[in-house]
Amino acid sequence: MTELTGSEHGDLLRDMSERASTLYWHSSRSVNSIADDLGLSKGRLYDLIRPLASGRDCPNCQSELVFTNRTAKERDAAICPVCDAEGVTIEAMGSVASSGADGHATTQGSRAATNGVAAASADADLDTPPPLSGETKGLMAGLLVGTFTGILLGRYFLR
């Protein structure tokens, strides 16, 4: 069995995440429909979806605000993945309702991770994939074993 290199594994995960994100953000299809198409559970699909850039900067740290899901986008409630500013809407851009001692918007709990994706620092390379969870590694291993088994069975039965 051919083993994937770290780079190939990263590319496969990045491609799957890109496809999931594109289908989620740029179609009106249900989450169940997208998950079924990709052969994923809803939870795994949500793990792969990348937050959508809002096109606005955080009033606190000037990082780009993101939408974590479709509902947040419909409500125009973006968050900052760097300083945890939450619920930043166009109306709220001028004044943040609640500030902490450091002048940053306060949030209910930490938002250091967005949809299971580690928050990036302002100068981090956003193309770097997040570390793989045990579940993701199991999913990728299952996909590889299934693919390899299909190839072997196909060759066996075509002889």
Nearest partner of 60 among 33, 87, 32, judged by Cα = 87
Q: Residue 24 CB: number of other CB atoms within 10 A?
A: 20
pLDDT at 131: 64
Nearest partner of 68 among 12, 13, 117, judged by Cα = 117
Q: What is the pLDDT of residues 56-94, one digit of tens each?
A: 888 888 889 999 999 989 988 888 888 877 766 655 554
| pLDDT < 70 positions in the chain | 1-6, 8-9, 87-132
Distance separating the N- and C-terminal Cα atoms of the chain: 20
Residue that the structure tokens 């594109």 belong to: 22
Extract the tokens encoding 124.
Answer: 């981090």
pLDDT at 108: 36
Taking the whole predicted model, whether its pTM rises above 0.85 is answered as no
pLDDT at 120: 39
d(CA 34, CA 42): 9
Q: How remote is the C-alpha of 115 from its chain's centroid?
A: 6
Nearest partner of 11 among 131, 139, 129, 120, judged by Cα = 129
